[in-house]
């Protein structure tokens, strides 16, 4: 589990095919300012909002394997470039954002990225199937960043990005047309399941 509070911006520096399946990739990621002293193979790190398992670590670089399924339903992991990083939560950690699983629900498209004073108004068009889970004043994760939804209009929603967020995450580099990883609030999934059960009760 994660909190959606980005700890550092790293950079994907290499992507190589794995084994006989050219669709599976091993990524080498420069961790930037993310501390790796307490990271070991088998640990989880959210990369651009995607929970990935560390398979190798060397100096300031860690490696992860990305499956064809993950590559097919996310963005930002198939080429070199900056990526938001967050290590998995420990039980004693402060939860500054909201509970995030690192399982991307869909890919959205940036519609607006307008300055509002020192802030930015970010409007995203979500996949239609996710729209019902996005609520005003609710939480959503965009490329691994925990954000509060300001407004919802059909499949579109908007959030406000403060200067700090623009400075310490990759979101400052977004533009209309950019594609982003979205994860809806965990609570919304469970509420829908409870309201729409499809498993018959046992006698």
Same domain, 184 and 115: yes
Same domain, 12 and 77: yes
Higher pLDDT, 63 or 203: 63
CA dist., res. 162 & res. 172, Å (int): 10
- For residue 5, the SS3 value is coil
pLDDT given at position 93: 83
| Residues 123 and 39 sit within 8 Å (Cβ to Cβ) | no
pLDDT given at position 107: 98
pLDDT digit string (tens) for 80-129?
899 999 999 988 788 888 889 999 999 999 999 999 999 999 999 999 99
- What is the CATH number for 158? 2.40.30.20
70's enclosing H/E stretch is helix 68-73
Same domain, 79 and 111: no
- pLDDT at position 202 over 80: no
Give the domain range for residue 65.
8-87
pLDDT digit string (tens) for 125-164?
999 999 999 999 999 999 999 999 999 999 999 999 999 9
Higher pLDDT, 146 or 78: 146
On the 0-12 / 13-18 / 19+ scale of CB atoms within 10 A, 32 is: middle
- pLDDT at position 203 over 60: no
In a domain, 118, yes or no: yes
Reported as half-sphere exposure (CB side, CA atoms, 13 A), residue 135 has a value of 9
In a domain, 2, yes or no: no
Same domain, 83 and 110: no
pLDDT given at position 20: 65
Domain count, the chain: 2
Same domain, 118 and 181: yes
Of 32, 58, 87, the position where a domain reaches its end is: 87
Same domain, 25 and 68: yes
Same domain, 74 and 121: no
pLDDT given at position 201: 56
Taking residues 75-83, report their average pLDDT: 92
pLDDT digit string (tens) for 12-64?
999 998 866 667 899 999 999 999 999 999 999 999 999 999 999 999 999 99
pTM of the model: 0.92
CA dist., res. 4 & res. 147, Å (int): 8
Rg (CA), the chain: 17
pLDDT given at position 191: 83
Per-residue tokens: 86: 């967050």
Same domain, 112 and 78: no
In a domain, 170, yes or no: yes
Of 58, 87, 116, the position where a domain reaches its end is: 87
In a domain, 201, yes or no: no
């Amino acid at each position: 589990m994660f909190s959606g509070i980005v700890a550092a911006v790293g950079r994907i520096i290499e992507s190589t095919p794995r084994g006989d399946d050219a669709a599976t990739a091993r990524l080498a990621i420069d961790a930037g300012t993310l501390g790796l002293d307490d990271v070991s193979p088998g640990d989880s790190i959210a990369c651009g909002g995607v929970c990935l398992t560390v398979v190798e670590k060397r100096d300031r670089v860690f490696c992860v394997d990305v499956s064809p399924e993950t590559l097919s339903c996310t963005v930002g992991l198939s080429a070199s470039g900056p990526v938001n990083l967050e290590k998995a939560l420990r039980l004693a950690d402060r939860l500054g954002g909201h509970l995030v699983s690192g399982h991307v629900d869909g890919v959205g498209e940036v519609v607006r990225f307008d300055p509002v004073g020192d802030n930015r108004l970010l409007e995203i068009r979500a996949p239609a199937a996710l729209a019902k889970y996005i609520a005003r004043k609710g939480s959503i994760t965009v490329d691994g960043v925990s954000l509060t939804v300001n407004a919802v209009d059909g499949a579109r929603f908007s959030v406000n990005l403060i200067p700090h967020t623009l400075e310490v995450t990759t979101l400052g580099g977004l533009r209309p047309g950019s594609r982003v990883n979205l994860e809806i609030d965990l609570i919304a999934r469970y509420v829908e399941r409870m309201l729409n059960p499809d498993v018959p009760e046992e006698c």
